[in-house]
Amino acid sequence: MEEAPEIEELEAQEPPPSPASGSSPTHATAAAGFRLTGNKRGRAAASSEAMQGLREVAAPMNGSDCCCAICFHDMDAGDVKLRAMPCSHVFHQDCIFKWLRRSAACPLCRHQLPTEAAAAAEEEEVQQQQVRRIWILGEELDHWHNLVDQQLERIRFESERLDHQIMKQHL
């Protein structure tokens, strides 16, 4: 098995010229991660949780000519671990993990996986929601505390009034 091209090598390559209008991008363009305009896309790394969540799959046993779209080597049964993206595209585990450390997008269809930044933003949002809940609970607690204080004040007042009436009756 030949050594897979490094992602850095793919990044250093100049993208092919844009195809004529109405035509579709080439497989090489999609695999290299370029838009039709030549701009790079999907540059944020996928989150480690998203990468580990890719399901492990077995190579086809029917002898089909399936190959990894990253390294272009065959996917032989029992040869190496294979992982499937949520979009169902299958790659060698080492190839797709290396790819996803650089880009959160599928090299074939650009399906986006969650990024570390997105995971951090989501965690931040969860923490902010928890802070809001705590603040609201604090406000509710203050409200109930005030109601209890008001009731205690009424009870004290009523108690003093009754004490005063009892004292008046005894005099």
Is the same domain home to 21 and 82?
A: yes
Is the same domain home to 78 and 95?
A: yes
Kindly report the pTM of this predicted structure: 0.48
Round to whole Å and give the CA distance between 9 and 71. Answer: 12
Is the same domain home to 99 and 153?
A: no
**Structural domains of the chain, count:** 2
Q: Within a 10 A sphere around the Cβ of 42, how many other Cβ atoms?
A: 21
Range of the domain at 165: 116-171
CATH of the domain at 32: 3.30.40.10
Tens digit of pLDDT per residue, the chain (171 long)? 444 445 455 444 444 443 343 434 444 433 333 333 333 554 788 888 889 999 998 877 665 668 889 998 888 766 678 999 999 899 999 999 999 999 899 999 999 898 887 777 888 899 999 999 999 999 999 999 999 999 999 999 999 999 999 888 887
